[in-house]
Amino acid sequence: MILTDFAKALAQLTDSRFQSVLWRGIGLTIALLVGIYAALLWVIDLLTADPITMPGGGEVTWLGDLLGWGSLGLVIFLSVFLMIPVASAITSLFLDEVAQAVEDKHYPTLPPVPHVGFWEALRDTVNFLGVLIGANLLAFIAYAIFPFAALFIFYALNGFLLGREYFQLAAMRREGREGAKALRKRHQGTIWAAGCLMAVPLSFPLINLFIPILGAATFTHLYHRLSQR
């Protein structure tokens, strides 16, 4: 049944509202990563403004260039692990539009839902972003201790986080925060499994950029199916 929910979401990927949220999320994510790199370069430039004098009297003038290129490599490396959490969190600002597009097409008889204010959505996004980034940074410790299981840890962790957040976002529109939380607790296993399905494509560049949209749509279908039980 989870695969059916995913197939419905995939079939609607060409929806103009899906596309709009996708490009806004990608654009803001890239802008954030570029901003982080620019901030690192500024700090490096500040720290290396004066040449370092070696004991023999020579000056080291290449340290800034070395650190600059090193910081670029660091940002690229971290983006492999952090771009998806960041994109997911940023895109969550607009996921109400995705859920509404799904309901307009597949559940047209439902009553309208209250509009979620920008600041409330921003608060949830910031909380989600903090949890995602914090958990993925801490996971580096687990990757180092259990390198043979790093991929499974990545899938399990992000599957749990994505499933928890996307189901909460989908259910909260119609159940309220507490109602969504209660429903999520009753179906934790199913929600985690669906989250892991979303986490698997995170390993594939470019494809992973579509996961926030597909996740929001899939969990909207999942919510409606579980709420009938």
Q: Is residue 59 part of a domain?
A: no
CB contact at 8 A, 97 and 173: no
Q: Report DSSP state, residue 199.
A: H
The pLDDT-based confidence of 225 (bands split at 50, 70, 90) is very high
Q: Is residue 64 part of a domain?
A: no
pLDDT tens digits, residue range 46-90? 665 555 554 554 444 544 455 555 556 666 666 655 665 666 666
What is residue 73's predicted lDDT score, i.e. its pLDDT?
Answer: 64
Q: Is residue 116 part of a domain?
A: yes
Q: Is residue 208 part of a domain?
A: yes
Nearest to 22 by CA among 211, 222, 220: 211
Q: Is residue 41 part of a domain?
A: no
- The boundaries of the domain holding residue 195 are 2-13+82-226
Q: Is residue 162 part of a domain?
A: yes
Q: Is residue 137 part of a domain?
A: yes
Q: Average pLDDT of the chain?
A: 77
Backbone angles phi, psi at 97, to 5 degrees: -65, -40
pLDDT tens digits, residue range 131-166? 777 887 788 888 888 888 888 888 888 888 888 888
Q: Is residue 22 part of a domain?
A: no
Residue 207 has pLDDT above 80, yes or no: no
How many Å apart are CA 87 and CA 79, to the nearest integer? 10
What is residue 219's predicted lDDT score, i.e. its pLDDT?
Answer: 92
Total number of domains in the chain: 1
Q: Report DSSP state, residue 187.
A: T
The pLDDT-based confidence of 120 (bands split at 50, 70, 90) is low
Residue 222 has pLDDT above 70, yes or no: yes
